[in-house]
């Protein structure tokens, strides 16, 4: 719930609230404790960083969950307007190359 609220607040321009909520969601449900929900929360935090224009932190978060189930999908990265601000960055192509690879368990 906090993670989704963070994304909503980012869309509304409430960036301080968005960061606080998104970071708290990742803190409460880290990937190390929940490999199913955790990557989605990290992806949402990346979404907030992208909305803020903080590309470095957005890419850092996305790269950390790119190869995990429930991490960012190839289709979402390519088509979702959320990621439009990142698409011109060379790191975006590298991220797509990682996401498209099969996940090995």
Domain ranges of the chain: 2-100
Q: Which of 58, 68, 76, 70 is nearest to 98 (CA)?
A: 68
pLDDT of residue 70: 87
Choice between 96 and 104, residue whose per-residue pLDDT is larger: 96
Q: What length does the chain have?
A: 105
Task: For residue range 24-82, list pLDDT tens digits in order.
Answer: 999 999 999 999 999 999 999 999 999 999 999 999 999 999 988 888 999 999 999 99
For residue 100, pLDDT over 80 is answered with yes
> Distance between CA 4 and CA 25 in Å, rounded?
9
Looking at domain 2-100, which of 1.25.40.10, 3.30.360.10, 2.40.128.20, 3.40.50.300 is its CATH number?
1.25.40.10
How many other C-beta atoms are found inside a 10 Å radius of the C-beta of residue 50? Answer: 21
pLDDT of residue 105: 64
In this prediction the pTM is: 0.93
């Amino acid at each position: 719930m906090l993670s989704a609220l963070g994304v909503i607040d980012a869309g509304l321009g409430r960036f301080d609230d968005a960061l606080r909520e998104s970071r708290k969601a990742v803190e409460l449900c880290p990937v190390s404790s929940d490999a199913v929900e955790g990557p989605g929360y990290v992806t949402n935090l990346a979404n907030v960083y992208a909305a803020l224009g903080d590309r470095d932190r957005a890419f850092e978060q996305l790269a950390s969950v790119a190869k995990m189930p429930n991490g960012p999908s190839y289709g979402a990265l390519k088509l979702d307007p959320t990621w439009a601000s990142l698409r011109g960055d060379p790191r975006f192509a590298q991220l797509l190359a990682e996401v498209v690879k099969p996940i090995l368990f």
